[in-house]
Structure 1
Amino acid sequence: MLQAAFRDRAVYLRDADALVLADLHVGRAEASDVDAPLGEADELADRLGALLDRFSPSTAVFAGDLLHEFDRASARAERALGSLAEACRDAGATPVAVRGNHDTVLDSAWDGRVHDAHALAGQDRRIVVRHGHESPPPSERADLYVVGHDHPTIPIEGQRRPCALYQPGVDGDGTPVLVLPAFSRVAAGVDVSGMRTDEFLSPLVRDADALRPIVFDGDDSLSFPPLGEFRAML
C-alpha cells in the first residue's frame, strides 16, 4: 500500500516523513527564448513553502534535475537553489539533493553534498529516491523507488494534467516505482497516455500498461486505472 499524499506536483511519504519533488529545472525560464513566467525563483519558493507548511516534513528531497542547463549555473540559479534549501531549513526540514542528468554542475551550485540516490527509512520499508535516468546497481536494496525524469502528464477533458505514475512490482521484480511529474511549471510535460514501455526515458519503467496515473487536483488527488485500461477511456 502506498502511504502517500499528493499535492502540487510533489508527494509526501507519510511513513518516512519526507517530502519529495523532482525536476525543478531552475534556470529554465532564464534560458528560454519563449515566453515564460516571470519570477521563476519566487514561484518555486512560494510553492515549496506551501508544501512545507502543509506537511511539516523532517526531510525534503529534490529528486534530480534541480538545474536546467547542463554546463552552467548562473548566479541567479545559484541564489534560487540557496533560497529553496534555506526555506527547508527554516521549516525544520533537512534539504537533500539527488543528482539528475541535467545536474552536471550541481556540486558547485548546491551548498552541501549531492547524492546519486538517497534512502529514506520508512516504518516498514526502505524507500530510495533517485532521478530515474539510470538503472540502480544490483546491490541496491529498495522496497519503493521514487523518481522523476519523464515529466508525465495525461489528458483529461482536453487538458493536459501533470500526474504521478505508480508502478507495482512487475516482470519478476517486486519493487514498486513512483514516477513524479516535473515540479517546474515551465518544463514541458509529456503525454504518457499512449506511450509504450520503450518510449519512457527511465529504465525503471518496466511495464507502461501497469502504470497507474495519479492526478493532482488542488488538495485532493485522483487515481485512475492502469494505462493499459485508461487508454480505452480516452
Structure 2
Amino acid sequence: MSSRGASIEGVTLRDRAVHLERADALVLADTHLGRDEASNVQLRMGEDTDIVERVGVLLERFEPAELVVAGDLLHSFEGVPRGVRESLGDLRTAAEAADAHVVVTPGNHDTMLADLWDGPTVDAYTLADGDREVVVCHGHEDPAGMDADLYVVGHDHPTIEIEGQRRACYLHGRECYRGADLLMLPSFTRLAAGAPVNGMGTADFMSPLVTDADLLRPTVRDERADETLAFPPLGRFREML
C-alpha cells in the first residue's frame, strides 16, 4: 500500500518540516508554543524545549538562508503562558546562530503574536524556488491575490492511521489548488493529536486550500529508519480501507 523512497521535487522532508532546496528555506508549521502549559497537567512536559532543540538540529543540518514558520507559532489565544517568551528568545537565538532569517506567517492561534514577536510577519510569504514560485501561509484563510506554483501550508495537523497507530504525515497534491500544487505539513509539535486523514473528504478539512482531497497523497517520514513512505492519494486510499 506504500512505496519507499517517495519524493517531492526539490523538497526534503525531515522531522515534520521541509527544506525547499532551491529557495534554501526551512519551513515548518504549528509549533503551538505554550500548548503544554495550557494543557490540563500539573507539570510542563518540556514540549517548548523539545521544539527549540529540534529546530536547532534542522538549522544545523540544512544551514538554510531562511526559516519560515507557517502559522500557529503560539497556542494560547489569550495571555502569555509561562515560558513562552523564553522559548521564542531561544528560537531566535538558534536562528541567529545559524544565520537564518526568520519570517512568521501568522495563523489563527497567533492572536498574541504582536505582543511577543517583533520579527517579520506577513500573511503569506513568497519564495523563489528555482523556476517556480512558492507561497507559504498557515492555510486557515485563502491567500487572495497570491499566485504560485506550490502552496505550503499547515493548519489541519494531518496524520495517518497505520495498524491502529497515528503517524504525522505530509499531504501533497498536484495541480489541486488554483492549478498549482499543494503541500500540507504536519504539526511540528508532537503534542497535537492530529486529524487522521484516512477517511477524510474535502469537506472534512478546515483549510480552504483543500479543494479536492482525493488528490492529496499522504507521506510519512520515519526518522528512526531514515525512510520516507508514500501512500496512494486519498481518493484511492479510501477504497482500500
> What whole-Å deviation, never above 9, does each CA across 1:138-167 have from its counterpart, x for those lacking one?
x22211110000000001122110001001
Measured in 2, the distance between the counterparts of 1:126 and 1:46 equals 30
Letter in 2 for 1:189: G
Letter in 2 for 1:214: T
Decide which of 180, 195, 203 is 1:198's aligned counterpart: 203
Letter in 2 for 1:112: G
Greater than 6 Å deviation, 4+ residue runs = none
1:57-68 matches, cutoff 5 A: 57-68=64-75
Q: Specify the SS of the correspondent of 2:30.
A: coil
Instruction: Indicate if the aligned counterparts of 1:162 and 1:181 stay in contact, CA closer than 8 A.
Output: yes
Instruction: Indicate if the aligned counterparts of 1:37 and 1:186 stay in contact, CA closer than 8 A.
Output: no
Decide which of 146, 163, 170 is 1:164's aligned counterpart: 170
Letter in 2 for 1:221: T
Q: Specify the SS of the correspondent of 2:85.
A: helix
Equivalent residue for 1:41?
48
Q: State yes or no: 1:212 paired with 2:213.
A: no
Decide which of 126, 131, 141 is 2:147's aligned counterpart: 141
Equivalent residue for 2:3?
none
1:1-234 matches, cutoff 5 A: 2-34=9-41, 38-74=45-81, 76-137=83-144, 139-170=145-176, 173-218=178-223, 219-234=226-241
RMSD (CA atoms): 1.6
Shift of the alpha carbon at 1:119? 0.9
> What whole-Å deviation, never above 9, does each CA across 1:72-109 have from its counterpart, x for those lacking one?
22351121112112111111211111100000110111
Shift of the alpha carbon at 1:37? 6.2
Q: Specify the SS of the correspondent of 1:154.
A: strand
Measured in 2, the distance between the counterparts of 1:131 and 1:188 equals 18
Measured in 1, the distance between the counterparts of 2:211 and 2:70 equals 20
Shift of the alpha carbon at 1:180? 0.3
Q: Specify the SS of the correspondent of 1:115.
A: coil
Specify every segment of 5 or more residues in structure 1 that has no aligned partner in the other structure, as ranges. Answer: none
Q: Specify the SS of the correspondent of 2:87.
A: helix
Measured in 1, the distance between the counterparts of 2:77 and 2:25 equals 27
Letter in 1 for 2:108: N
Letter in 2 for 1:120: L
Measured in 2, the distance between the counterparts of 1:184 and 1:118 equals 22
Percent identity of equivalent pairs: 54
